[in-house]
């Protein structure tokens, strides 16, 4: 009888030890209560629990999780109702607060996200809501993270997956986009025509400048030619006067000028001109000079 009692006691002790040995897996924490109150939090590894005294109040996963909510109707500041779909990425950092801070953490975060999303979007107009997703995500994450600290939860990210405006707003936006594209096309066409007109005007200007430069150059060349011709005539006249002066003296040169004056007076229109005898003698002298210039001279007789 004593033998059977010892065997029974050993079996009971073995059962107690077997029930009391617990192994907490990776990325998990267990909240332990003793006599109905919080006792400790077990991390990953081997632990001994006293049966009938200790109990596992909550097994908490420390992995990052997400809440994917149904689209929520929200109203913007300019009174446009739209459906916004969001996702919250969170992680439990304090198992004790998570176990005792809130009764239903998932439902609490759901309601908190809904109200916060409505408050944030309600401060924005439609265009700001559609173009400011990063701003909305940042504000939601900050507000939710502060609110869930008391629950042992850290909100890592909040992402707005989809913003769905009403069909009437979509149609208006499409028309606006179409008008904007047409406006840009018209501006580009006008800019092209403007550049073409500017280039044409620049070409005409350059052509006029080059034409004026060509005329100026031609006039300069013509003036230089006339100046050279006048210089040549004056040089020839001076040489002739110098030659007459050397042959007939100064008086002869003056008489020659008188002869030229008579010629200008006649101008080829007078039928009869009386030439003084002095000029006739000068004409003979000039004829002699002309013969000398041509290389001739008096020929020896005999």
DSSP 151: G
- 46 and 70 belong to one structural domain: no
Long-range contacts of 168-172 (CB under 8 A, 24+ apart): 169/80, 169/82, 169/126
Q: Report yes or no on 286 lying in a domain.
A: yes
- 79 and 136 belong to one structural domain: yes
What global pTM score does this model have?
0.53
CA distance 220 to 228: 12
Q: Report yes or no on 44 lying in a domain.
A: yes
Q: Report yes or no on 138 lying in a domain.
A: yes
- 49 and 74 belong to one structural domain: no
CA distance 223 to 195: 42
What's the confidence (pLDDT) of residue 276?
Answer: 55
Contacts with 62 (C-beta within 8 Å, 6 or more apart), sequence order: 27, 28, 29, 91, 92, 93, 95
Q: Using the 3D structure, point to which of 24, 45, 61 is the last residue of a domain.
A: 61
- How many other β-carbons are positioned within 10 Å of the β-carbon of residue 113? 22
- 71 and 55 belong to one structural domain: no
Instruction: Name the domain count of the chain.
Output: 3
CA distances from 205 to 29, 53, 68, 194 (A): 86, 104, 69, 16
Q: Using the 3D structure, point to which of 61, 77, 103 is the last residue of a domain.
A: 61
Q: Report yes or no on 173 lying in a domain.
A: no
Per-residue pLDDT tens over the stretch 9-62: 677 666 666 777 888 999 999 999 999 899 999 999 989 888 888 899 999 999
% residues pLDDT > 90 (the chain): 18
Q: Report yes or no on 268 lying in a domain.
A: yes
- 27 and 106 belong to one structural domain: no
Q: What is the CATH number of the domain that holds 135?
A: 3.30.479.30
Q: Report yes or no on 267 lying in a domain.
A: yes
- 39 and 93 belong to one structural domain: no
- 55 and 69 belong to one structural domain: no
pLDDT mean over 228-234: 82
- 20 and 75 belong to one structural domain: no
**Structural domain for 27, as ranges:** 2-61
Per-residue pLDDT tens over the stretch 155-213: 999 988 888 887 887 787 778 778 888 888 889 889 888 988 898 888 888 888 988 88
Residue, of 93 and 267, whose pLDDT is higher = 93
Per-residue pLDDT tens over the stretch 119-151: 988 888 888 888 888 888 889 999 999 989 999
CA distances from 54 to 51, 211, 298 (A): 6, 109, 165
SS3 253: helix
């Amino acid at each position: 009888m004593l033998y059977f009692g010892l065997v029974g006691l050993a079996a009971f002790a073995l059962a107690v030890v077997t029930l009391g040995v617990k192994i907490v897996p990776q990325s998990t924490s267990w909240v332990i209560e003793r006599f109905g109150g919080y006792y400790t939090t077990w991390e990953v590894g081997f632990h001994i629990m006293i049966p009938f005294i200790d109990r596992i109040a909550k097994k908490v996963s420390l992995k990052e999780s997400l809440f994917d909510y149904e689209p929520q109707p929200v109203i913007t500041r300019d009174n446009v109702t739209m459906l916004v779909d969001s996702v919250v990425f969170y992680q439990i950092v304090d198992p004790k607060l998570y176990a005792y801070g809130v009764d239903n953490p998932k439902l609490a975060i759901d309601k908190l996200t809904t109200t916060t999303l409505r408050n944030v979007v309600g401060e924005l107009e439609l265009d700001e809501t559609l173009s400011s997703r990063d701003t909305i995500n940042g504000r939601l994450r900050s507000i939710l993270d502060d609110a869930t600290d008391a629950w042992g939860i850290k909100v890592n990210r909040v992402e707005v997956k989809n913003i769905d405006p009403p069909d009437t707003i979509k149609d208006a936006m499409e028309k606006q986009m179409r008008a904007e594209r047409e406006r840009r096309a018209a501006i580009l066409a006008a800019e092209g025509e403007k550049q073409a007109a500017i280039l044409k005007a620049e070409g005409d200007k350059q052509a006029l400048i080059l034409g004026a430069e060509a005329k100026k150059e031609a006039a300069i060349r013509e003036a230089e030619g006339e100046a050279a011709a006048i210089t040549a005539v004056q040089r020839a006249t001076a040489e002739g006067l110098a030659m007459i002066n050397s042959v007939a003296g100064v008086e002869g040169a003056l008489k020659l000028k008188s002869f030229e004056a008579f010629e200008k007076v006649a101008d080829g229109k007078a039928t009869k001109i009386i030439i003084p005898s002095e000029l006739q003698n000068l004409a003979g002298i000039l004829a002699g000079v002309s013969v000398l210039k041509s290389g001739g001279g008096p020929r020896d007789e005999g």
